[in-house]
A and B are shown apart, each in its own frame.
Chain A
Amino acid sequence: NAGVTQTPKFRILKIGQSMTLQCAQDMNHNYMYWYRQDPGMGLKLIYYSVGAGITDKGEVPNGYNVSRSTTEDFPLRLELAAPSQTSVYFCATQPGTNQPQHFGDGTRLSIL
């Protein structure tokens, strides 16, 4: 039981490049989330999904896109990387409303 798996763990991008951050879960949780964590700050919600085929914007969605074609996977897409997107990205799952979220170990992304 791997829980929440994020790949890659580290990545360096050039400005203007694109990439997809992968998130996979094996807990059959309906709810999935993408956060970014900047130094000295809490977690800011980028996008979330309450089930396959359903996605919604969070607090800081600009510059990102998501899709949810299966329960297991929730990829996050950066189309035109900008230095402001340098951050640590966390994926989380949740079994239901007002239940604990389960986090992956993050993807550390630097854009130069």
Chain B
Amino acid sequence: GENVEQHPSTLSVQEGDSAVIKCTYSDSASNYFPWYKQELGKGPQLIIDIRSNVGEKKDQRIAVTLNKTAKHFSLHITETQPEDSAVYFCAASGAGNQFYFGTGTSLTVIP
């Protein structure tokens, strides 16, 4: 089955700096890659996603890049704010419609 690895597990940045979280996947058949933000006591919430026919997608301060050849994708958050502090998960999905999640990155934005 698919194996998704996520790094780093923890990340601290100063407010206003950028944050980058990286994920790799193993199954070349995976073609959908969502990113979720999870706040304490809540379920994961989708923040951005990308499909395999696209190399980059941006939504305001958040962007995702995908390198299909290398089987990795990354989340970029610019101009970080304290409310960006949360746990972020990447995931990969393919023909079987199952989602495989990374182990999460705990992001802390220091005011």
Contacts and interface: CB of A to CB of B under 8 A. Distances in A.
A103 B36 CA distance: 10
A103 B103 CA distance: 17
Chain B: interface size category: 20 to 34
Interface residues of A, number: 25
B51 A98 contact: yes
Q: Which of A31, A33, A42, A106 has the most CB of B within 10 A?
A: A42
Interface of A: 4, 31, 33, 40-45, 48, 50, 58-59, 90, 92, 94, 97-98, 100-106
Interface in B1-28: 1, 4, 6, 9
A103 B45 contact: yes
Q: Which of A4, A41, A59, A103 has the most CB of B within 10 A?
A: A103
Contact of A58 (B6, B45, B89, B98): B98
Given A42-B4, A103-B43, 13 more contacts: A4-B43, A31-B97, A40-B9, A40-B104, A42-B6, A42-B104, A90-B43, A98-B51, A98-B93, A101-B34, A103-B36, A104-B43, A105-B41
